[in-house]
Structure 1
Amino acid sequence: MTAPTAPAPAGLTTGALARRLGVSPTTIRSWERRYGIGPAHRAPGRHRRWEPEDVAVLEEMCRLTARGVNPAEAARIALAGAGPEPEPPKARTARTGTASGGNTLPVGTVRPECRGLARAALRLDAPEMARILRRSVDELGAVVAWTEVMTPALRAAGRKWVAEGERYVEVEHLLSWHIAAALRRVADRPEPLPGPAALLAGMPSELHALPLEALAAALAERGLPFRMFGPALPPEALLEAVRRTGPPAVLLWSQVTRTADRALVERVVRTAWGPQGARTQPVVLVAGPGWAGPRRPPGTLRPRDLAGALDLLEGLLR
């Protein structure tokens, strides 16, 4: 007697497939109607079922569109199952999403890399997010990658979960983690950089660290030494770190006004080290939206953006 064969899996419904891919059922039906991407086999009188080979085609379609390939070309490649993948355009910007929301992450007029990152983030496609971010940092540099790819995607994710009643918080968390990982890959050096190091830290009540991570990566790209203390460094720990390391420059980040502690910054400005008669004090930079308006403490510098902070620090460290 021969062993009975196991029944073939029933396949996925369009709704289940949409949840798996992180797109709407309407998008799948639109791709099927426009580009012929549909189930290879259909049983008469039954709902459509997507078999593994059908799912693979749609997964490839999602992967290609996330990389900036237009849907028609992505469908052609996915259906062919072979052939070189076209490079997404570098200089051209594109508009994606609408103000109406839905199962999209509207990012406005952005680089193709940002559009692809937003699509991958909404699908929770971690490998694709990592690939886009790694390539963006390597090809564009940390400053451009941060300002033109990462920041618009982060802002769109934040707007999305606020507008949708916090339904998409997981998108922002996963995106933030991968952005930090991509930046830290550049910032982490096996050998310490020579020379006096800048001190980077967030204010004691500040929990946002990604802008500091971007600045650290940009400093590493220029071969400039730094010490990163991250967000929420307690006041006395900050002052002790300044005294112990003797940095020529200290940059303190504040994302919102409530974390911009003027009194503490003034104490950092007055902190000195070295032998009696030849004591030295750091140049203090206050960075971030929290220092907007008249909040900049006396004796400090306030760079306008990441590129400005980088140039100021390079001048002080060189």
Structure 2
Amino acid sequence: MGKTKNTSLDTVVRDFILLGLSHPPNLTSLLFLVFFIIYILTQLGNLLILLTVWADPKLRARPMYILLGVLSFLDMWLSSVIVPRLILDFTPSIKAIPFGGCVAQLYFFHFLGSTQCFLYTLMAYDRYLAICQPLRYPVLMNGRLCTVLVAGAWVAGSMHGSIQATLTFRLPYCGPNQVDYFICDIRAVLRLACADTTVNELVTFVDIGVVAAGCFMLILLSYANIVHAILKIRTADGRRRAFSTCGSHLIVVTVYYVPCIFIYLRAGSKGPLDGAAAVFYTVVTPLLNPLIYTLRNQEVKSALKRITAGRGTE
């Protein structure tokens, strides 16, 4: 299925079949409902954050919340690239995805995922400037610079996604077309290639390692300076307020990077836990982000109250 003969008598893959997540057959309906609810809540939660930042003048004038709005937009799209396809795995429908659809899914997955990495780094840099350089912050991080940095993150993410998609699908696929995964991702697709994938695997490891590890190290460096600056604050209330502005971002970074590093940068064989880790950072994390920022961020909660009370434009 999904293959056609060419003149060299080899078979050419026309589509792929995603085998999805392993699960007991009696849980199919429950898992369909769970992932469907997660998807709807993810879209609504991130849309709420996006509209709140846009509608409240106090928030949309600050780079921190501009970045938060961009993060919500990314989460909505990342969820839309992954979850609807995943939901189909729990239905009787055909599990095949066209070759071009697989290329597009892999590209957008790595494009949006790497853009998030860059955005988390920008958010850490913004907090570093706000806490460690408070007097110069309005000059060092203004709206124009924030826009340029965000645009740079999008361009870099697009380049990363293009590199991964081009390297993966430049190889011939002429044999089995069953992808033992719930999405078209690099390692799962490369197992089906009819050519040596050593170079691809090395480039993938280095490329993703540079992006993920590089961004992670910059975030750690930013927060090392932030902690050092906070410890110099004399009052306990001042330290508490400074830490509260960074707590949400640290939680989000942790729940994103730990599964990502587990999947792409660890050595050794890959096991069933890879699927669970991938589901966590591709499906669960976009759901958690708006919850973390609304429950832990007093300014977002205050803005929501103002908008609800009809005072969002004051």
Larger CA Rg, structure 1 vs 2:
1
Q: TM-score, normalised by structure 2?
A: 0.26
Q: TM-score, normalised by structure 1?
A: 0.26
Higher RCO, Cα 8 Å, sep 6+: 2
